[in-house]
Amino acid sequence: MKPMLDGKVIVVTGAARGIGRAAAYAMAQAGASLALADFDEDGANTTAAQVARLGARCVVVRADVSREEEVAGLVNAAVARFGRLDGAFNNAGIEQRNTPLHLLSEAQWNAVNDVNLKGVFFCLKHEIRAMLETGGGAIVNTSSALGRVAIPNAAEYCASKGGVLGLSKAAAVEYGSQGIRVNAILPGVIRTPMIDSLVSQPQFAGLLPALEARHPIGRLGEPDEIAQAAVWLLSDLASFVNGSEFSVDGGYLAV
Ligand SMILES: NC(=O)c1ccc[n+]([C@@H]2O[C@H](COP(=O)([O-])OP(=O)(O)OC[C@H]3O[C@@H](n4cnc5c(N)ncnc54)[C@H](O)[C@@H]3O)[C@@H](O)[C@H]2O)c1
């Protein structure tokens, strides 16, 4: 049997660490050629070195997803290097500012939404432009369980991830008939540097066991558990999956 992403060219954003790095490894193992993007170029290069050891073809592009010209450059670089674009995992994101909504500044709102929501819009726009030229593709956007339900002091993050769900479905409906599938993954809490930096803050002592208890499966998720879902959604095995909200959350949203 062929590997799930055999011969596919895939863009991964937020590839310098966390879920994006795990996705790069999983997609390389599944036979993809990769364009790895992040504004942390050193981190992305470290990911790329591991991907190369797995035998995958790979290019690193320094790109800030909140800047349209850099996202356009990323897609153009992927097509220039590999000749086409078959898939994308739009995963770069930043966490909330942990501020009550009535104290949240416009700058704090923009900081999160410019990356998490506007960044996904720019990625979709340029990836779809490229995919239309070669007859289609598949896109997975990283939303969150917090795109569906909320926690306190994370209004801008919840709004951004809810926006990703709407944007994903809008694109799925608009381009499904042209061979482009678009789905959103909703991770529960995953053990990545984003979460490590949150739970290491003194005001969040005790948060980690509370978070674990919040997942019916009794633990946090691992980056590779999100990566494997993304591999499947980008593969032809998921050929009838379009516009879905795909929870990978240990049951967080089932409670
Ligand atoms: N970790 C979790 O519990 C969790 C849960 C639900 C959703 N998510 C989402 O999963 C995605 C990945 O999160 P993670 O936990 O791996 O985070 P992380 O902080 O470990 O990694 C995020 C990566 O995105 C990159 N990035 C941030 N802003 C960028 C920008 N403007 N342009 C390009 N790259 C940028 C960072 O440099 C980093 O490499 C995010 O969208 C996050 O919101 C995470």
- Write the CATH number for 208: 3.40.50.720
155 Cβ partners below 8 Å, 6+ apart?
96, 101, 104
**Which among 194, 207, 224 is the best mutation to test ligand 1's pocket, defined by most ligand atoms within 8 Å of the CB?**
194
What's residue 205's pLDDT? 86
- Is 110 within a domain? yes
- Is 108 within a domain? yes
What's residue 201's pLDDT? 87
- Is 154 within a domain? yes
Overall number of domains in the chain: 1
- Is 3 within a domain? no
Distance from chain centroid for Cα 59: 18
* Cα-to-centroid distance, 64 and ligand 1 (Å): 12
- Is 130 within a domain? yes
- CB of 89 within 8 A of CB of 5? no
Residue bearing the CA closest to ligand 1, atom 23: 14
Q: Which domain holds residue 98?
A: 9-254
The single residue of 25, 157, 175, 252 carrying the catalytic annotation is 157
- Is 2 within a domain? no
What's residue 104's pLDDT? 98
Among the listed residues 66, 67, 74, 83, the one whose alpha carbon sits nearest the alpha carbon of residue 44: 74
What's residue 11's pLDDT? 99
What's residue 212's pLDDT? 96
- Is 4 within a domain? no
The pLDDT profile of the chain, 255 residues, written as one tens digit per residue, is 899 999 999 999 999 999 999 999 999 999 999 999 999 999 999 999 999 999 999 999 999 999 999 999 999 999 999 999 999 999 999 999 899 999 999 999 999 999 999 999 999 999 999 999 999 999 999 999 999 999 999 999 999 999 999 999 999 999 999 999 999 999 999 999 989 988 888 888 888 999 999 999 999 999 999 999 999 999 999 999 999 999 999 999 999
Burial 142-167 (b: 16+ CB within 10 A, else e): bbbbbbbeeeeebbbbbbbbbbbbeb
* Cα-to-centroid distance, 205 and ligand 1 (Å): 22
**Which among 36, 94, 149, 247 is the best mutation to test ligand 1's pocket, defined by most ligand atoms within 8 Å of the CB?**
94
> Residues with beta carbon inside 6 Å of ligand 1?
13-14, 16-20, 38-40, 43, 63-66, 91-94, 115, 119, 142, 144, 187, 189-190, 192-195
The answer to whether 252 is a known catalytic residue is no
For the CA of 116, the nearest atom of ligand 1? 41
For the CA of 143, the nearest atom of ligand 1? 7
User: pLDDT by residue (tens digit) across 192-250?
Assistant: 998 998 888 888 888 899 999 999 999 999 999 999 999 999 999 999 999 999 999 99
Q: Cβ of 187: how many Cβ atoms within 10 Å?
A: 27
